Amino acid sequence: MTELPTGTVTFLFTDMEGSTGLVGRLGDAYGNVIADLRRLLRAAIEGSNGHEIDQRGDELFAVFQRTRDSVEAALRIQRELAEHEWPENGTVRLRIGIHTGEPILGESGYEGLDVHRVARICSAGHGGQVLLSQTTRNLLESGQVPEAEFQDLGEHELRGLPRPERLFQLVAPGLDAEFPALRTVSTARATDGSATAEGKGLRVVLADDSVLLREGIARLLTESGFDVVGQSGDPDDLMLKVRSYSPDVAIVDIRMPPTQTDEGLRAAQEIRESHPEVGVLVLSQYVEPAYAMELLAESAEGVGYLLKDRVSDVEEFAAAVRRVAEGGSALDPALVTQLVGRRRQHDPIEELTAREREVLEAMAEGRSNQAIGERLFITPRAVEKHITSIFGKLRLPQAVEDHRRVLAVLAYLRA
């Protein structure tokens, strides 16, 4: 790899809008679309003196020594995407984020908050849109990028960042100028009754014998865009609601009437056996590893275990519900810490570095590579290297899907 620039650099991050739907429409032809997209992106980046850092699926991460080169690359990418002949029903639209900072360049690539920041800026945009941070905008002199203007979109709170970020939209001939509201934390917290992106279209059945807690969770979910189609106070009524409404996910308290022991857990297991298409997220007042392992005995697909205290972090809770509804997993960090922290004779976990343990715990929570990178402020490529090392030390086969990785890790921990 060409030596990467250091000091003040500008990151460019791209992500495809609607990639899941595109896969469904194109089938096997999706591979050709991705190949065309990668060639286009790499040509634009290299032609603007940039360096590719990482590439995963429809995402690409690049760095530039000169700020204006990054903007010129973004312009070229969006214009060529619009002109390219894509298959019918296969038009590609990318969101692009640009941010300038002084990251750390370690052995595994760039590290630090600037990596996280550019990814969050990108995710706030829409297909065809180019967003810049205020730091990047301040470094661009008037006329430095011919025909380009920068529309001030104001300050926005981006998930995971310590303070609001002032964002600017790149405006130039050949680029769309009008887009919906940015996909930010403030948008997700909208109180005008509109559904948010967090849970739009996902149906939820909720079971807890505490009416106050149940109603509170239902309200939080509704405000996050979920459709709460049924509420129950006991296991029998919960099963009736699941059969009647065919929800995407059932949220169940472990301890329910009549004995307040494990009735909720039994109902959750019955849902998993009789309605495998329904995700199950159980809530518990305390960390109970034995119950969690019982729930995860067969598979970690579409299952979650969270402490009730996590509900107070609305965004994280909504993300966990959505992840389970979509077939992923969501395990409480406190539970994962206990599982990972167990000791056995000749325990291979002792061979892991501190960073690898952090990555392992995040994997077991159900986090994707991108989410792990954002949490630890490292690049996706660095995450991949750590995961490869972890699987090697634990003698576990690598797996592509996040919930498969969780299952492999938990299977090892149960051994």
305 assigned to some structural domain: yes
Q: Which of 311, 329, 347 lies at the terminal end of a domain, its last residue?
A: 329
Count the Cβ atoms, other than its own, within 10 Å of residue 77: 23
197 assigned to some structural domain: no
- DSSP class per residue in 352-379: S-HHHHHHHHHHHTT--HHHHHHHHTB-
Cα first-last separation, the chain: 41
Q: pLDDT class for 193, splitting at 50, 70, 90?
A: very low
- Determine how β-strand 227-232 pairs with β-strand 203-207: parallel
Question: Hey, which residues does 98 pair with through a beta bridge?
Answer: 12, 132
> Quick one: 239 and 144 in the same domain?
no
If one compares 395 and 331, the residue with the highest pLDDT of the two is 331
What is the span of the domain harbouring residue 230?
203-329
Instruction: Find the mean pLDDT for residues 17-37.
Output: 81
* SS3 assignment for 5-66: CCCCEEEEEEEECCHHHHHHHHHHHHHHHHHHHHHHHHHHHHHCCEEEEEEECCEEEEEECC
198 assigned to some structural domain: no
Note the pTM of the prediction, 2 decimals.
0.55
126 assigned to some structural domain: yes
> Quick one: 381 and 308 in the same domain?
no
Which of 43-47, 107-111, 152-156, 342-346 is least confident?
342-346
- Number of domains present in the structure of the chain: 3
**Measuring CA to CA, which residue among 258, 278, 301 is closest to residue 268?**
278
3 assigned to some structural domain: no
Instruction: Find the mean pLDDT for residues 47-64.
Output: 89
> Quick one: 367 and 220 in the same domain?
no
180 assigned to some structural domain: yes
Instruction: Find the mean pLDDT for residues 129-135.
Output: 96
Whole-angstrom Cα distance, residue 14 to residue 93?
10
> Quick one: 183 and 207 in the same domain?
no
If one compares 371 and 281, the residue with the highest pLDDT of the two is 281
Q: What is the pLDDT of residue 188?
A: 44
Contact in structure between 29 and 87 (CB atoms under 8 Å): yes
> Quick one: 247 and 123 in the same domain?
no
Percent of the chain with pLDDT over 90: 30
> Quick one: 312 and 344 in the same domain?
no
Q: Name the range with the highest mean pLDDT among 5-9, 209-213, 313-317, 408-412.
A: 5-9
How many CA atoms are closer than 13 Å to the CA of 265, on its beta-carbon side?
19
Q: What is the pLDDT of residue 189?
A: 45
196 assigned to some structural domain: no
Q: Which of 159, 188, 217 lies at the terminal end of a domain, its last residue?
A: 188
Q: Which of 278, 297, 329 lies at the terminal end of a domain, its last residue?
A: 329
If one compares 270 and 310, the residue with the highest pLDDT of the two is 270
**Helical (H) or strand (E) element with 250:** strand 249-253
Instruction: Find the mean pLDDT for residues 343-355.
Output: 69
If one compares 160 and 384, the residue with the highest pLDDT of the two is 384
**Helical (H) or strand (E) element with 384:** helix 380-394
Q: pLDDT class for 344, splitting at 50, 70, 90?
A: low
Q: pLDDT class for 61, splitting at 50, 70, 90?
A: very high
> Kindly report the CA angle at 314 between 199 and 332, in degrees rounded to 5?
95
Q: What is the pLDDT of residue 414?
A: 54
Q: pLDDT class for 192, splitting at 50, 70, 90?
A: very low
2 assigned to some structural domain: no
Whole-angstrom Cα distance, residue 283 to residue 213?
11
Q: What is the pLDDT of residue 20?
A: 65
Contact in structure between 47 and 40 (CB atoms under 8 Å): no
**Helical (H) or strand (E) element with 152:** strand 149-156
- Determine how β-strand 165-171 pairs with β-strand 149-156: antiparallel
> Quick one: 49 and 157 in the same domain?
yes
Question: Hey, which residues does 168 pair with through a beta bridge?
Answer: 132, 152
